[in-house]
Structure 1
Amino acid sequence: MDKRVVVTGLGVCAPNGVGLENFTRAMQTGRSGIRHHPKLKQLGFSCQVAGEPLIKDNLLANYFTPLQLRGLNSSGLVYGVIAGRDAWKDAGLAIVAKGTPDWNSGILFGTGILGADKFRESIYQIDANNVRKLGSGSVMQVMASGISAYLGGILGCGNQVTTNSSACSTGTEGVIMGYERIRAGKAERMLVGSCSDSGPYIWAGFDSMRILPRKYNDDPTRASRPMSASAAGFVPGSGAGALVLESLESAQERNAHIYAEVLGGAVNSGGQRGEGSMTAPNSEAVIRCIREAIGNSGVQASDIDTINGHLTATGKDALEIENWKTALGVSGMNFPFVNSFKGHFGHCLAAAGSVECVASVLQIAKGQVFGNLNCEDLNPNILEQVDATKIPQKTILHQPRFLAKASFGFGDVNACVIFGQYCD
């Protein structure tokens, strides 16, 4: 049916801002949400800094009933419900109180590892022969689809309600999957997003791999350094982002505010062949994914004027820029404006794509390109490919017309979505 798909609602729970207003201000002003975590020091982590949303206790009562709060111990689920409900409200959509569900609205909310703290708590109860003390909420807090099930019940959605999981590309992949469902006429609205737990049980594996920065424990806001010559590894983060995608017809009928249009996208895998591996991207697949996303969007490579990359602050940043250069056929002053948000809140793992998609759409809505943090010493290999003016250090005025947002994940999986400025 090839319906046009637009973004009508945004919600976010990020380390540098909980709620859309706080988050927008943080992105515009370059406020970091990366902090030192004494618990990580206590546990002997080499990297003791991370990005974690700061949730006030009294805030939870706005999103959960007293019964739901009883025994709630899943940070990712909390982040996802906050972001998802905020996006739904931002879109001006009503919650089905009771009776017939909304058959035209669905949810596709992804995650990686959900409920790690709850799972640990449950294991201790089981080992202590206290199975009956687990509580009725333990299963839904640790199952991967717990977040979509929670949101589905809260909002009363009757279309597809499911969860995807593709490591760091989860959130961006979910946007594409939701877009495709609406475009095919199978739904009018899809709440898409992703969330990730926080804490040592999530971050320990990365610390043991020695791919996190170890020299910034006393200077946390400078630890995540995408595209920098002094980049020393990614800073782990957590949180959630959510977007309401809607057919243009439905949005116009409701007179909804439209942030941007989803023009198309692509997902693929490098098959862990060639230079690709469990942790490294296959450049051929990355380039192919970007080109297919552009082709599926009906635009030309030369139309892309803004890039929000994956760019995690590792030695692979220069390779990613090279892949963008090859995929778009541009370099130097002709290269689009490019930024990474990992300096603002770290690498939010399964939530990275959705949080960064929210920020990307905000750039279109605000007519701005948010600045890059901590890359005053730009990687010389990147400067050989891109003029420094295309990597702004602070937020600049620029109206993105066609923005490419990409995420690449463990397992050599890739996702790229093209957002456009909405025009009648």
Structure 2
Amino acid sequence: MKKRVVITGLGVAAPNGVGIPAFTHAIQNGLSGIRHDKQLEELQFSCQIAGQPQITDDLKAAYFTELELRGFNSTGILYGVIAGIEAWNNSGLAINEDPDWDSGCIFGAGTSGIDKFRESIYKIDDLQTRRLGSTVVAQTMNSGISAYLGGKIGLGNQVTTNSSACTTGTEAVLMAYDRIQSGQAKRILAGSTSDSGPYIWGGFDALRVCSSQFNDHPEKGSRPMSASAAGFVPGSGAGAFVIEDLESALERSATIYGEILGGNCNSGGQRNSGTMTAPNSTAVQRCIQKAVENAGIDPNQIDAVNGHLTATTKDSLEIENWTKALGRSGSDFPYINSLKSLTGHCLSASGSIECVASVLQLYEGFLFGNLNCSDLHPEIAALIDPSKVLQQTIKSNPKIIAKASFGFGDVNACVILKKYND
């Protein structure tokens, strides 16, 4: 019999809400976190809007010591620590005096400390190597986020960082699930984070895949599934979970936000239709189908889908892949939404932040609406009933949500989440 794996802690630093209460309020009420970015305008980016978590100095001081903040400018680690520690505290767990051998951390990142890395390059070029500071390595190594969290909490099980582009966060959740399923850990702090700023977003702007038609109206810029979608809006942040075996959670009377039934990760191998930047549809469909099979459910049991859906030309293809994978279309298709309409595309943090939103929908009993999608793309309208693309939040009682992420490199992940009942 498969060991049951549940979610006992949630944390988030999102463009439209830092902390679970603020984030829940934002997604329930359709509040966007996309704003004009003065730096992008000054640098003459085509896309001059972005989604960034709003972090105050007081909030930083609540998670970092004065000494730690000296010379600290890694936004990815900042967001990840805020989200990760919130999830740990939210789960009712204590900060450990000694290593907790049963608890670990799998926290993904796309990059780490890009601004710090740039600063270091200039100092080295100016022959100021000795002035780099003692934290430059910790801030710029890709595993910096898991190292910071592991040290702040005292985690003695596996502590590592995964990296799979936009699939990173959803993959981290599934890696944590697998480790607990195999009995190698009782609980894992899982999630992902993403740096913010022009050095992260510049390459995408150069690829001309970012939204540039709504610089004067930031909240209208991210338009997943819309006929007027004009590219994605860059974003950043972090999402986090405490993922735990059910027996351990019950022993300590933890709040249980949801259950992970299973999932799947795969790659299209950049073959057939798959490339570095485009999905292999066969692989996407197979990933979804294998996730459903691994979860031990029927596709008809899925009440809602939280898609990847980036507001690019690939949105209609993603919907087509969902219809084929689930064998459901028209009015039989589940409700579907995309958080990117409210946050932009948070890159390596997108999967984890969107998984947090998916769990909140199960726990709180609602489905959030898709902003900027009153003009549903005709190719999507031909595949599914337009009423399945919610325009605003509805009170609901979803039991099972499928959440998927698809990333650069033709990599895919899909997790099946369930409302917990005993």
Q: In which range does the TM-score fall when normalised by the shorter chain? A: over 0.9
CA distance in 2, matches of 1:125, 1:217: 35
- Which amino acid letter does the alignment assign opposite residue 83 of structure 1? A
Kept in 2: contact 1:2–1:184 (CA 8 A): no
- Structure 1 runs not aligned, ≥5 long: none
Residue 50 of structure 1 aligns with which residue?
50
- Equivalent positions of 1:107-186 (< 5 A) are 107-186=105-184
Residue 4 of structure 1 aligns with which residue?
4
- Which amino acid letter does the alignment assign opposite residue 333 of structure 1? S
Could you give the per-residue CA deviations for residues 64-92 of structure 1, whole angstroms, max 9, x where no partner exists?
11111111110010000000000000000
Q: Alignment partner of 2:379: what SS?
A: helix
Q: Alignment partner of 1:406: what SS?
A: strand
CA distance in 1, matches of 2:314, 2:385: 19
1:2 Cα deviation from its structure 2 partner: 2.9
CA distance in 2, matches of 1:383, 1:216: 24
CA distance in 2, matches of 1:21, 1:313: 27
1:119 Cα deviation from its structure 2 partner: 0.2
Residue 17 of structure 1 aligns with which residue?
17
Residue 392 of structure 1 aligns with which residue?
390
Asked if 1:282 corresponds to 2:265, the answer is no
Q: Alignment partner of 2:123: what SS?
A: helix
Q: Alignment partner of 1:44: what SS?
A: coil
- Equivalent positions of 1:289-304 (< 5 A) are 289-304=287-302
Would you identify which runs of 4 or more consecutive aligned residues in structure 1 move more than 6 Å? Answer: none
Q: Alignment partner of 1:263: what SS?
A: strand
- Which amino acid letter does the alignment assign opposite residue 124 of structure 1? Y
Aligned residues: 422
Could you give the per-residue CA deviations for residues 1-28 of structure 1, whole angstroms, max 9, x where no partner exists?
7311000000000000011100000000
**More deviation in 153-162 or 387-396?**
387-396
CA distance in 2, matches of 1:327, 1:2: 24
- Which amino acid letter does the alignment assign opposite residue 109 of structure 2? T
CA distance in 2, matches of 1:40, 1:56: 21
CA distance in 2, matches of 1:404, 1:373: 20
- Equivalent positions of 1:301-340 (< 5 A) are 301-340=299-338
- Equivalent positions of 1:22-421 (< 5 A) are 22-96=22-96, 98=97, 100-421=98-419
- Which amino acid letter does the alignment assign opposite residue 151 of structure 2? G
- Which amino acid letter does the alignment assign opposite residue 22 of structure 1? A
- Structure 2 runs not aligned, ≥5 long: none
Q: Alignment partner of 1:221: what SS?
A: helix
Could you give the per-residue CA deviations for residues 399-422 of structure 1, whole angstroms, max 9, x where no partner exists?
111110000000000000000111
CA distance in 1, matches of 2:62, 2:347: 26
The CA RMSD over aligned residues, in Å, is 0.7
1:107 Cα deviation from its structure 2 partner: 0.1
- Which amino acid letter does the alignment assign opposite residue 270 of structure 1? G
- Which amino acid letter does the alignment assign opposite residue 31 of structure 2? R
